[in-house]
Copies of this chain bind each other. A is one copy, B any other.
Amino acid sequence: MNKAVFYHAGCPVCVSAEQQFAVALDPARYQVEVVHLGEQKNRVAEAEAAGVKSVPALVVGGAPFHINFGAALADLR
């Protein structure tokens, strides 16, 4: 099972991406963890280390994929 992490901040762009996108991944192959960085600020550093620059973003296979633009990571510290 591959692990994917969807980072967001509760913004409208984030919610849209989560509803259309994060839920579209194949549940047989991907376990998706949803992390609200506004509520879990202790995980901002982890997102940054994975290469995340803005949210919403999905980290899958170790690579960050920024999906549209909701907020910069720097604004969530």
Provide the main secondary structure of the chain A interface. strand
* Chain B CB within 10 Å, residue with most, of A17, A20, A30, A60: A20
Could you tell me if B20 and A65 are in contact, using CB atoms closer than 8 angstroms?
Answer: yes
Interfacial residues of chain A within 17-41, with CB under 8 A of chain B in the complex: 17, 20-21, 24-30
Could you tell me if B68 and A16 are in contact, using CB atoms closer than 8 angstroms?
Answer: no
| Nearest B residue to A61, CB-CB | B20
Give the contact-size bracket for chain A: 20 to 34
| Nearest B residue to A56, CB-CB | B65
A66 interface hit (Cβ, 8 Å): yes
Whole-angstrom distance between the alpha carbons of A77 and B5 in the complex? 35
Complex interface: chain B residues within 8 A of A30 (CB)? 24
